[in-house]
Amino acid sequence: MFSPICPRYAAMLLLFPLCVALLGPPTERANAQSKQKSIAGKADVLRHVPKKFATLTEIDNKNHRVKLLIEGEQQAKMWDVLADAELKVHGWWGRLKQFCVGDRVWVWFAIDRHKKRKGVLMLADELSEQFIHGLPHLLTACDKKSETATVESEISGKRQLTFKNLDKSALIGAQVFVQTVGKSARTIASQEDFANLRSRQREWLCAKWRQDGLPGTVSLLHPLSGEMEVMLDHEAIRWGRYLENGDKLTLQIDAPISAVVKHVHPWRERTLVRIVTASGVDQFDLSLGQRIRVTVPEPPADIQSSELPMDIGRLTLKKDRIEWFLASTYCSCKIAGDRCTGMFYSLASCNENACGMPHQIRSKVGELIDADLTDEQIWEKLIESRGPNVGNQHLLR
């Protein structure tokens, strides 16, 4: 004789076919969930950002503004430079005061929702533009007597420039990096000369970091716990990521604040640092979104001289290691037109729903991890298979 079925269980049996009809069998639901798109931004801003050559006619360092005469326009205009704008000098990051009035520059504009220009998102000297594109000029003629040089480039075309005390006849037929002021050449640099200029710029910026600290933005304040977060700018991708838990640092404000690192996390091209201040009360002198400088311990000279990322090999979990590579490398795809976000702001910024490169790199790095390669060995493999641009900001025309 069967015992009676529990009413609640009987109701569940009756509802099960309806649930399956509406939602599908459990295995189908699991498969459907696995095929769902990732939640990600469109990563198409660079497609819409105006990128123009201009003459720099005035620099207002105090208010972080520049006056630009855009090529093709009749009147110069003053523009605010975003607080976290990318400033490029001699192929590396720099400071606004390093630019020279009269120079030809390459500028990107931040835009509003109606795609109207509203401020400077990126400012680069001509040497940096040529380095970013991997397209130096070709020096086709050089006449010391008439003090003229003729250069050609895919972007700026053929130009005859005047120059003084720059005998570059030995470079005729070679690729050169050129900085112009109107119709004159202020700099004509060979590949070796440019490499030296870039190296000196890196050293100059390191000196600024020692003195002033790394630039960033206050992204979280929690005085009750004493914890806060600073999002360091792109330029801090090396020194910032060398930080480790327990490192001491100083927030440079009117009354400097001492703090200790609790956690460091790569976030696309930026670096998120969670810190603990000596007293939670200190945080009442700060505000969310405030621009700040952070003095940090300087990495050893031998590590700085290496082209490898300074925090390479630190993570141990496979998933974390894979995501670190996306946040530390740049996209090696062939998308032209100055519009691939991942080429300039790291591969982690690509929209993986519309671009297959993040999946390719995750898969490749995962395979190499499974093959028991170290992160240093994986980095070398990526450079070998995908080219040096994996380790450098760049864009394709």
Burial class (CB in 10 A: 0-12, 13-18, 19+), 31: exposed
Location of structure tokens 């405030």: 290
Residues 243 and 121 in one domain: no
Where are the strands (E) in the chain, listed by range? 51-60, 65-70, 77-89, 92-93, 104-111, 117-125, 137-143, 148-153, 157-162, 175-181, 184-189, 214-222, 227-232, 248-252, 257-267, 270-277, 291-295
Strand (E) or helix (H) holding 27: helix 26-34
Residues 126 and 208 in one domain: yes
pLDDT at 6: 55
Whether 24 is in a domain gets the answer no
> CA end-to-end span of the chain, whole Å?
82
Q: Which of 295, 310, 328 is the last residue of a domain?
A: 295
The packing angle between helices 191-212 and 126-133, to 10°, is: 110
- Please indicate, yes or no, whether the overall pTM of this predicted structure exceeds 0.75: yes
114 has which bridge partners?
none
Query: Minimal CA–CA distance to 267: which of 333, 301, 216?
Result: 216
CATH assignment of the domain containing 222: 2.40.30.170
pLDDT at 30: 47
Residues 101 and 195 in one domain: yes
Q: How many CB atoms lie within 10 A of CB 375?
A: 21
Residues 131 and 142 in one domain: no
Residues 93 and 197 in one domain: yes
pLDDT at 342: 96
Residues 373 and 274 in one domain: no
Residues 204 and 89 in one domain: yes
Q: Which domain holds residue 363?
A: 318-391
pLDDT at 40: 75
User: What phi and psi, each to the nearest 5 degrees, are found at residue 312?
Assistant: -65, 140
Whether 8 is in a domain gets the answer no
CATH assignment of the domain containing 194: 2.40.50.320
Residues 102 and 203 in one domain: yes
Residues 66 and 122 in one domain: yes
In order, the DSSP letters of 334-394 are ---SS--HHHHH-GGGS-TTT-SHHHHHHHHHHHHHHTT--HHHHHHHHHHHH-GGGGS--
Whether 353 is in a domain gets the answer yes
Q: Give the C-alpha separation, 126 to 105, whole Å.
A: 6
Whether 31 is in a domain gets the answer no
80 has which bridge partners?
65
Residues 102 and 189 in one domain: yes
Query: Minimal CA–CA distance to 340: which of 323, 328, 357, 327?
Result: 357
Residues 116 and 207 in one domain: yes
Q: Which of 160, 195, 212 is the last residue of a domain?
A: 212
Whether 26 is in a domain gets the answer no
249 has which bridge partners?
259
Q: Which of 295, 327, 360 is the last residue of a domain?
A: 295
Please report, in tens digits, the pLDDT of each residue of the chain (397 residues total): 445 555 555 555 555 555 545 455 655 544 544 456 778 777 789 999 999 999 999 999 999 999 999 999 999 999 999 999 999 999 999 999 999 999 999 999 999 999 999 999 999 999 999 999 999 999 999 988 889 999 999 999 999 999 887 678 889 999 999 999 999 999 999 999 999 999 999 999 999 999 999 999 999 999 999 999 999 999 999 999 999 999 999 999 999 999 999 999 999 999 999 999 999 999 999 999 999 999 999 999 999 999 999 999 999 999 999 999 999 999 999 999 999 999 999 999 998 888 899 999 999 999 999 999 999 999 999 999 999 999 999 999 9
Instruction: Give the three-class secondary structure for 148.
Output: strand
pLDDT at 294: 98
The total of structural domains in the chain comes to 4
Residues 199 and 53 in one domain: yes
CA 228 to chain centre: 23
